Structure 1
C-alpha cells in the first residue's frame, strides 16, 4: 500500500466507540486534605485491594529512592546517559507504539518498525501490548465511567496509580471483552510478545540495563541495577500515569469543556507530547495527539513518526483539518481560543 499524505482527513474513521459522550463534568481542584484521605481509607473495600501490587510498588519506590542517591553521588556519567537513552526508548515504546500505533491505529508501521517499538514497549514494562491497547481502548470508549480502568471520577490517586492496586470494576472486564481486538490478534509482534512476555520483560527492563553498564564500562552492579533499572523504570511509570491523572485534572479545555481530559504542557514535556489531552480525547485518531506535531507542541513522538514516515517505515498517517478543529471548538469548546495554526500564520 502506498503511503498517504499526513494531512489525510478521516472524519468518521474512529475505532469502535471512540466517539465519546459525556455528561457535563466539573473539574475539581487537587486538595491535600488529611481528614478526607483518612475518610476515604475507611471507605475502601480492602477485600478488593491487590496486595501483591501494593507490596511491589512499595518496594519499587524504596529501590528508586536508593537509585536516586546512587545517581547523584555514585553513578558514572555513562550510566546516567545510558539511563536517559533507555527512558526515551521506553517512552517511545508507550507513546508511539502501544498508544498511537496499536491502541488508536493512527498510523501504520512496517514489520521492522513494529519490532523496534515492541522492544521499546517491553523495556517500559507496563503490561504487554495487547493488554495495554485493550485497556486504553476501553478508557476512550467509556471515559470517566465505571468501565474506565483509571476512572478520574474516583480521585486523583486512583487515576494515577491506585487503579493498579485495586481489582478492576466488573464493567471494565465486561466492556473490554466486547471490543474488536482482531487487529491486535493478527499482529505477529503483539502475539509473540504476549506469549513470551515474562522472560522478555525481565531481560529487557532489568537484566540488560544492569549488565550493559556493568560489563561495558565497569559500573558497580548495584548502581547499574538501581539507576538504569529501578529508578529509570519508576520515572517512566509515573510520567505515563500523569497522562491518566494530572492531564485529566489540571489544564485548559479549548476543544471540549465538558470532559475531564485537559491540555497540560508539563505532562506533554515529560511524556514526549502526550499531555495535550483535551485535543486527544476529541480527535483520538490523530497521530499527532495535538494540533501540531514537532517542536511547536514539544511533540517528540510526532517527530519520530514523521521521521519514520520519511524513510518509509511508517505510512497512512491520520490527522484532521483546521476546519474540523474550528467546528469542534465552536460546538463544544472555548470559542475565544485561538488555534495554534492561526497563531503561527500571524507571526
Structure 2
C-alpha cells in the first residue's frame, strides 16, 4: 500500500529541448497546441477552433440521424451499442484518466493495448493530448490555465473549450508539464502516430461492421446508431465530469474547491463523479473511498489486478482521508 500526502499530489515537471523536440516528433504542431489568445482581449487572431467546430457539428448531426434509426435496429444492435458504450467509458476512466493521466497504477502491455483500442473508439482525441490536458487541469484547476475552466461557464467547461483556441495561460503552463512517461509508453506513441487511421477503424467502421457482419444489421443503420449516436452519448457523459461535477455536489474533503461529489455523474461515467475526493487525492486509483459503489472502473481495475494485468495500485489510507476531511472538509472549515 502506498500512502499519499494529504495535500493534492504535485506532478514532477520537466523542461528542456529534448522533451520539446519529442513533442514535435509526435505531431504536436504549433497550430494545435500553442495557439490562440483570450478572445475577450484585443489582438486575438481568431478565437474559434474550426477543426473542433466542424467535427462536433458533423458528429451531432450524425447523432440526430441516429435517433431516427433507433426504432428499426435489432435487439442485438441495442445490446452491442450499450456494451460498447460501457466498455468505452471504462477505457476512458480506467485508461486515459487513472492510468495515463495520473499513473495511479501500472498495467501490463495486453491491458494497455485493450484500453488504447477502447479509448480510440470513443473519438475523444488521442491518449497523449487527453493526458496532457488533464495534467494541466489538475495543477491549475479552474484558472485561466485550466483548459476547461469551470469558472468560464457550464457550456464552456462541458464542450465549449473544445471549440475555442486555448488561452495564453494554458500555452505557457503546458511547456512545463512532464510528458516523459507518456513518451516512454510505446502504446501511447503508436496511437499518437496513427491516430487518424485507428480512429477511423475503431471509432467509425468497427461499430457498424460488427452488427452488419454478425447478425445482419443494415450497415448504415448500425453506423448512425451503434457508431455515431453512441459516440455522442459517450462524449457528453464524459464531459459531465468537467461541467456538472465542477458545478454541483457536496464537498466532504475540501469545501474550498469547486469540484464536488456527484452521484449521478458517477453512475453515468462508471465512477468519475466523486470529484471532490479526486481533486484532493488525485493519485488514488479508486477516485473514491467507497470501493465499488457507483464505481465500475474501480471494479474493473481490481478485476484486472486479480488476473495479473494490474500492479502497484496507489491509494490513500483511511487515516489520511479522515484527517484531511477534519481539516478542510464539511466537518472542518466553516
2:16 match? none
Of 279-288 and 42-51, the range deviating more from structure 2: 42-51
Matched, 1:281 2:279: yes
State how far apart, in whole Å, the 2-side matches of 1:228 and 1:46 are. 39
Under a length normalisation based on structure 2, what TM-score does the superposition of the two structures give?
0.87
Under a length normalisation based on structure 1, what TM-score does the superposition of the two structures give?
0.84
User: 1:290-309 counterparts in 2 under 5 A?
Assistant: 290-294=288-292, 296=293, 298-309=294-305
SS at match of 2:188: helix
Q: CA RMSD in A?
A: 2.0
Deviations 1:85-123 (A, max 9, x none): 211221111100010000001000111111111111111
2:329 match? 333
2:66 match? 67
| Counterparts in 2 of 1:52 and 1:113: CA distance versus 1, 3 Å | closer
2:151 match? 153
1:206 match? 204
Query: Tell me, which stretches of 5 or more residues in structure 1 are unaligned?
Result: 1-6, 19-41, 338-347
How many residues are aligned here?
305
State how far apart, in whole Å, the 2-side matches of 1:17 and 1:188 are. 21
Query: Tell me, which stretches of 5 or more residues in structure 2 are unaligned?
Result: 14-38
1:10 match? 4
Of 49-58 and 312-321, the range deviating more from structure 2: 49-58
Q: Where does structure 1 differ by over 6 angstroms across 4 or more consecutive aligned residues?
A: 42-46
How far the C-alpha of 1:249 sits from its partner, in A, is 0.1
Of 111-120 and 50-59, the range deviating more from structure 2: 50-59
State how far apart, in whole Å, the 1-side matches of 2:138 and 2:105 are. 18
Q: Is residue 137–residue 148 contact of structure 2 (8 Å, CA) maintained in 1?
A: yes
Equivalent of 1:238, from 227, 233, 236? 236
SS at match of 1:273: coil
1:28 match? none
Deviations 1:185-237 (A, max 9, x none): 10010000101110001100110111111121111111100111100000110
2:250 match? 252
SS at match of 2:173: helix
User: 1:18-29 counterparts in 2 under 5 A?
Assistant: none
